[in-house]
């Protein structure tokens, strides 16, 4: 274990800073640039397998025979690491119904020449987890800067009569604009360092990747609606993608068939889930609140402690436009 002094970058991250604030873009890049620099160095290495990096003695002997990458000449590093099973959250989080032996069937490592095996494993472990629960009678940019919502590149040009909107509507559009701006800053930084990989920022590549990305971000059972929603979105573009060689499929017919009734019900369920998230504070994080935000909301009287020592959201305080001053 290594201790490195310094302030956490996330403490400097202010994603909703106004463009009018002095040095706004420079302050955002102070966080984005070091992370992209790290990613640039990581992308310069071609690994022989996909999985997680371990010290040599910490992996099974069956995984000790293959070096993680070629060309290492430093004797201190040559046999320091090996690639073993993945410890990514999608193979562990909410998988308490699966035994360690069962998870070991899916969590790699995988040969670098077979990248789709990793994608298949993510789907397979979710299916195995679901089957287990049914049997008991009972579903590229860093996440800090990634944005899946509608893009707004210029408030004045993209939003008709923006200046005439009330403040609440303006704030909603400003939020979408700031998230779009932050993702673009990341993409520009990636382009400066790895121009050959900038295709990852293409909207079409994002649509193709979206079902897999949504599966990686799976937090609770209802998140399957997001996974399926991304598949439905891909269905609409599939024929054009096949015709233009954007994917390696040859059949223009989408591999999944949806009825109109099914799609209508899915849209209804998705809208209800989104309303549930909007109306329930921290529902999207399963009730988890970052420590610094918890302290701030507690000081503002929005989070209060009850007689049993548990905490709850004080709805009336949360709905006030001007929370009490610290």
In the chain the first and final C-alpha atoms are separated, in Å, by 37
CA-to-CA distance for 322 and 270, rounded, in angstroms? 32
Mean pLDDT of the chain: 80
For tokens 């998705």, name the residue. Answer: 270
The domain limits of the chain are 1-43+140-196, 46-139, 202-283, 295-326
Quick one: pLDDT at residue 219? 75
pLDDT in tens, 75-124: 888 889 999 999 888 888 878 778 888 888 888 899 988 888 888 888 88
CA-to-CA distance for 224 and 127, rounded, in angstroms? 11
Give the number of other Cβ atoms within 10 Å of residue 97's Cβ. 15
Quick one: pLDDT at residue 124? 84
CA dihedral 145→321→306→295, nearest 10 degrees, is 40
pLDDT in tens, 294-324: 777 778 787 788 877 777 776 665 555 454 4
For tokens 């015709």, name the residue. Answer: 243
Quick one: pLDDT at residue 85? 92
| Residue with more model confidence, 197 or 179 | 179
283-298 average pLDDT score:
67
Quick one: pLDDT at residue 316? 60
Q: What is the pLDDT confidence band of residue 136, given thresholds at 50, 70 and 90? A: very low
pTM (two decimals): 0.48
* C-alpha distance from residue 104 to each of 83, 277, 292 (Å): 14, 33, 36
CA-to-CA distance for 14 and 10, rounded, in angstroms? 8
Give the number of other Cβ atoms within 10 Å of residue 247's Cβ. 14
- Kind plus residue range of the DSSP H or E element containing 53: strand 52-55
267-292 average pLDDT score:
70
Highest mean pLDDT among 19-28, 159-168, 296-305, 317-326: 19-28
Quick one: pLDDT at residue 135? 37
Q: What is the pLDDT confidence band of residue 286, given thresholds at 50, 70 and 90? A: low
Q: What is the pLDDT confidence band of residue 264, given thresholds at 50, 70 and 90? A: very high
Q: Do 254 and 238 contact (CB within 8 A), yes or no?
A: yes
170-198 average pLDDT score:
79
């Amino acid at each position: 274990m290594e201790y490195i002094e310094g302030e956490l970058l996330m403490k400097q991250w202010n994603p909703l800073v106004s463009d009018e604030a002095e040095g706004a873009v420079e302050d955002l890049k102070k966080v984005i640039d070091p992370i992209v620099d790290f990613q640039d160095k990581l992308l310069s290495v071609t690994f022989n397998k996909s999985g997680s990096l371990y010290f040599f003695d910490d992996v099974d002997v069956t995984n000790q025979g293959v070096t993680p990458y070629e060309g290492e000449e430093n004797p201190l590093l040559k046999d320091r690491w090996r690639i073993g099973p993945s410890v990514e959250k999608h193979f562990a989080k909410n998988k308490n119904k699966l035994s360690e032996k069962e998870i070991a069937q899916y969590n790699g490592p995988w040969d670098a020449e077979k990248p789709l095996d990793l994608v298949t494993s993510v789907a397979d472990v979710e299916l195995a987890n679901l089957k287990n629960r049914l049997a008991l009678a009972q579903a590229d940019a860093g996440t800090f800067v990634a944005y899946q919502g509608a893009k707004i590149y210029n408030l004045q040009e993209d939003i008709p009569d923006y200046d005439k909107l009330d403040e609440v509507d303006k704030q909603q559009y400003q939020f979408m604009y700031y998230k779009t701006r932050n993702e673009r800053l990341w993409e520009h930084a990636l382009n400066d360092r790895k121009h050959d990989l900038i295709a990852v920022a293409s909207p079409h590549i994002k649509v193709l990747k979206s079902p897999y990305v949504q599966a990686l971000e799976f937090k609770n059972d209802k998140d399957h609606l997001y996974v399926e929603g991304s598949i439905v979105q891909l269905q609409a573009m599939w024929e054009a993608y096949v015709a233009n060689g954007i994917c390696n499929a040859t059949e223009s017919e989408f591999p999944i068939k949806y009825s109109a009734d099914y799609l209508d019900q899915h849209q209804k369920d998705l809208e209800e889930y989104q309303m549930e998230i909007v109306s329930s504070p921290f529902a999207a994080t399963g009730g988890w609140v970052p420590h610094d935000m918890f302290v701030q909301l507690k000081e503002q009287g929005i989070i209060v402690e009850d007689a049993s020592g548990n905490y709850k959201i004080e709805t009336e305080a949360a709905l006030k436009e001007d929370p009490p001053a610290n």
